[in-house]
Amino acid sequence: MHDFVLLEIACGTPPASRARILATLSLLRMAPQASTRELLDFISRQKLHNRGYGMVDISLLASTRLASDARLWTLDKPLHALARQTGLAWEHEQNLI
φ, ψ for residue 52, nearest 5 deg: 90, 5
pLDDT at position 86, please? 93
d(CA 39, CA 64): 12
- pLDDT tens for each residue of 24-62: 999 999 999 999 999 999 999 999 999 999 999 999 999
Q: Report the distance separating Cα 70 and Cα 29, nearest Å.
A: 11
Task: State residue 43's pLDDT score.
Answer: 97
DSSP 94: S
CA distance 89 to 91: 6
97 three-class SS: coil
Is 83 strand, coil or helix?
helix
**pTM score, two decimals?**
0.84
